[in-house]
Amino acid sequence: MRRDFRARSHPAWWAFLVHRLSGLALAAFLPLHFWALGQALHGEAALDAFLRWTEQPLVKASEWAIAVLLAAHLAGGLRLLALELLPWRDWQKTLLAAAAGVTLAAGLALALAI
């Protein structure tokens, strides 16, 4: 029982959790994204109304959050691919730090762009 709690303090467990939760959040966002794209099928006025709605601060913050989740999921996935395909598996903590750095850099770059 104690071993389970120790495993949850390991950086690899947190990387797994971030990767899993970001994937679930992105999967939940996908139908909304398709709905937004579908507004173009209803004509120019519907799309323009939707695009005006997206100028709200909460929507802008949500866009930033989705981009950070996407960066986290991408960096975590690349880390997993490196662990599986490359021979240097002892670098797991370095890969965790690199994945976190890529996520942070993408989030900061998007925050400056908004």
pLDDT given at position 10? 77
pLDDT given at position 25? 94
pTM: 0.70
pLDDT given at position 40? 85
State both tokens at 82: 């490196």
Which residues of the chain are under the pLDDT cut of 50? 1
The alpha carbon torsion through 13, 19, 22, 23 (nearest 10 deg) reads -130
**Coil, helix or strand at residue 12:** helix
pLDDT given at position 53? 92
**Coil, helix or strand at residue 99:** helix
**Coil, helix or strand at residue 9:** coil
pLDDT given at position 6? 66
Distance CA 20, CA 12 (A): 12
% of the chain surpassing 90 pLDDT: 25
